[in-house]
Structure 1
Amino acid sequence: MHTDTEHCVRAVQSKDARFDGWFFTAVVTTGIYCRPSCPVVPPKPENMRFHPSAASCQQAGFRACKRCRPDTSPGSPEWNHRADLVARAMRLIADGVVDREGVPGLATRLGYSTRQIERQLRAELGAGPLALARAQRAQAARVLIETTELPMAEIAFAAGFASIRTFNDTVREVFALAPGELRTRAGGRRLDTTPGVLSLRLPFRTPLNPDNLFGHLAATAVPGVEEWQGGAYRRTLRLPYGHGVVALTPAPDHIGCRLALTDQRDLTVAISRCRRMLDLDADPVAIDEQLRADALLAPLVDKAPGRRVPRTVDEAEFAVRAVLGQQVSTAAARTHAARLVAAHGEPVDDPDGGLTHLFPSPEALAGLDPETLALPRSRRTTLTTLVRQLADGDLHLGVESDWREARERLTALPGFGPWTVEAIAMRALGDPDAFLPTDLGVRRAAAALGLPSTPAALTARAADWRPWRAYAVQYLWATDDHPINHLPA
Structure 2
Amino acid sequence: MRSRDARFDGWFFTAVLTTGIYCRPSCPVAPPKPENMRFFPTSAAAQQAGFRACKRCRPDASPGSPEWNQRADLVGRAMRLIADGVVDREGVPGLAARLGYSARQVERQLLAEVGAGPLALARAQRAQTARVLVETTALPMAEVALAAGFGSIRAFNDTVREVFAVAPSELRRRAPGAPAPSGPLSLRLPFRAPLCPDNLFGHLAATAVPGVEEWRDGVYRRTLRLPHGHGVVALRPMPDHIGCRLSLSDLRDLPVAINRCRRMLDLDADPAAVDELLRSDALLRELVDKNPGRRVPRTADSAEFAVRTVLGQQVSTAAARTLAARLVVEHGAEVADAEGGLTHLFPEPEALAAVDPATLAFPQSRRRALLALVNALAEGQIDLDVSGDWRRARAGLAALPGIGPWSVESIAMRALGDPDAFIATDLGVRLAARQLGLPRTPAALTARAAAWRPWRAYAVQYLWATGDHAINRLPAA
**What is the TM-score when the length of structure 1 is the normalising length?**
0.97
What is the alpha-carbon distance in structure 2 between the residues aligned to residue 38 and residue 103 of structure 1?
33
In structure 2, which of residues 346, 356, 374 is the aligned counterpart of residue 387 of structure 1?
Answer: 374
Deviations 1:83-108 (A, max 9, x none): 00000000000000000000000001
Give the Å deviation of 1:189: 6.4
Partner of 2:427: 440
**Match of 2:262, as an amino acid?**
R
Partner of 1:288: 275
Aligned CA distance change for structure 1 residues 295 and 134 (closer, same or farther; 3 Å): same
1:300 aligns with 2:269: no
Partner of 1:6: none
**Match of 1:345, as an amino acid?**
G
What is the alpha-carbon distance in structure 2 between the residues aligned to residue 103 and residue 260 of structure 1?
29
Partner of 1:26: 15
Deviations 1:66-93 (A, max 9, x none): 0000000000000111100000000000
Indicate the SS of the match to 2:186: strand
Partner of 1:341: 328
In structure 1, which of residues 147, 162, 166 is the aligned counterpart of residue 151 of structure 2?
Answer: 162
**Match of 1:409, as an amino acid?**
G
Indicate the SS of the match to 1:297: helix
Partner of 2:72: 83
In structure 2, which of residues 338, 345, 352 is the aligned counterpart of residue 365 of structure 1?
Answer: 352
1:99 aligns with 2:88: yes
| Residue pairs, 1:69-468, within 5 angstroms | 69-188=58-177, 190=179, 193=180, 195-468=182-455
In structure 2, which of residues 44, 49, 61 is the aligned counterpart of residue 55 of structure 1?
Answer: 44
**Match of 2:235, as an amino acid?**
L
CA contact (8 A) 2:202 2:471 kept: yes
Deviations 1:308-340 (A, max 9, x none): 000000000000000000000000000000000
1:41 aligns with 2:30: yes
Indicate the SS of the match to 1:187: coil
Partner of 1:3: none
Give the Å deviation of 1:363: 1.1
Indicate the SS of the match to 2:401: coil
**Identity of counterpart residues, as a percentage?**
79
What is the alpha-carbon distance in structure 1 between the residues aligned to residue 106 and residue 473 of structure 2?
43
What is the alpha-carbon distance in structure 1 between the residues aligned to residue 340 and residue 42 of structure 2?
39
What is the alpha-carbon distance in structure 1 between the residues aligned to residue 39 and residue 32 of structure 2?
12
Indicate the SS of the match to 2:282: coil
Indicate the SS of the match to 2:210: coil
What is the alpha-carbon distance in structure 2 between the residues aligned to residue 481 and residue 149 of structure 1?
47
Unaligned runs of 5+ in 1: 1-11
What is the alpha-carbon distance in structure 1 between the residues aligned to residue 250 and residue 45 of structure 2?
30
What is the alpha-carbon distance in structure 2 between the residues aligned to residue 141 and residue 353 of structure 1?
30
Indicate the SS of the match to 2:233: strand
Give the Å deviation of 1:146: 0.6
Indicate the SS of the match to 2:292: coil
CA contact (8 A) 2:137 2:181 kept: no
What is the alpha-carbon distance in structure 1 between the residues aligned to residue 286 and residue 252 of structure 2?
45
Deviations 1:145-178 (A, max 9, x none): 1111111111001000000000000000000000
What is the alpha-carbon distance in structure 1 between the residues aligned to residue 448 and residue 107 of structure 2?
41
Indicate the SS of the match to 1:243: strand
Give the Å deviation of 1:395: 1.3
What is the alpha-carbon distance in structure 2 between the residues aligned to residue 189 and residue 459 of structure 1?
54
Give the Å deviation of 1:196: 2.6
The runs of 4+ residues in structure 1 deviating greater than 3 Å are none
Give the Å deviation of 1:364: 1.1
Indicate the SS of the match to 1:13: coil
What is the alpha-carbon distance in structure 2 between the residues aligned to residue 199 and residue 162 of structure 1?
25
Indicate the SS of the match to 2:220: strand
Partner of 2:4: 15
Deviations 1:443-475 (A, max 9, x none): 000100111111011001000000000000000
Partner of 2:471: 484
Deviations 1:194-251 (A, max 9, x none): 7231000000000000000000000000000000011110000000000000000000
CA contact (8 A) 2:224 2:300 kept: yes
**Match of 1:116, as an amino acid?**
Q
Give the Å deviation of 1:38: 0.3
**Match of 1:401, as an amino acid?**
G
Deviations 1:172-199 (A, max 9, x none): 0000000000011113165xx3723100
Indicate the SS of the match to 2:126: helix
CA contact (8 A) 1:218 1:227 kept: yes
**Match of 1:470, as an amino acid?**
A
What is the alpha-carbon distance in structure 2 between the residues aligned to residue 356 and residue 384 of structure 1?
24
**Match of 1:288, as an amino acid?**
D
**Match of 1:91, as an amino acid?**
R
CA contact (8 A) 1:196 1:261 kept: no
**Match of 1:118, as an amino acid?**
E
How many residues are paired up?
Answer: 476
What is the alpha-carbon distance in structure 1 between the residues aligned to residue 25 and residue 435 of structure 2?
42
What is the alpha-carbon distance in structure 2 between the residues aligned to residue 329 and residue 365 of structure 1?
22
**Match of 2:122, as an amino acid?**
A
In structure 2, which of residues 455, 458, 462 is the aligned counterpart of residue 475 of structure 1?
Answer: 462
Q: CA RMSD in A?
A: 0.7
